Amino acid sequence: MTVELVPIIRMLLERLGVEGVSAVTVLVLLGVWIYSRRAARIGSAAVGTAGRAGGTARAVALVLLVLLLAGLISVDLERGRQLVKGGLRAIPAEGFPWF
């Protein structure tokens, strides 16, 4: 079932006495309202996905912490510094203006 909104909106605007620029403003605001609802729906899905990713990251960090404290893995801080420096040099400066 499809409902054509244009005739309905046109009739409502005529009954309310809205004409000209005011009618266009009403239509623009109605469009913004519809698309903001869609954006909110998509945003809530993104938040749910980010929450799951955050939970996974916390679980991985906890497992790594337990393995580190148990002595099953070790941390080489100098190698970590080298990797971070190499990664920062690989990022193009024009792509990230805050670097």
Tens digit of each residue's pLDDT (9 = 90 or more) over 54-71 = 888 888 888 888 888 888
Contact (Cβ atoms closer than 8 angstroms) between residue 29 and residue 13: no
pTM of structure: 0.45
Confidence grade of residue 51 (pLDDT, cut at 50, 70, 90)? confident
Torsion of CA 54, 57, 61, 63, to 10 degrees: 120
Residue 18 CB neighbours (<10 A): 15
- Which is nearest to 27 in space by CA: 42, 1, 3, 8? 8
Tens digit of each residue's pLDDT (9 = 90 or more) over 85-94 = 888 787 766 5
For the chain, how big is the Rg over CA atoms in Å?
27
pLDDT the model gives residue 1: 46
Confidence grade of residue 2 (pLDDT, cut at 50, 70, 90)? low
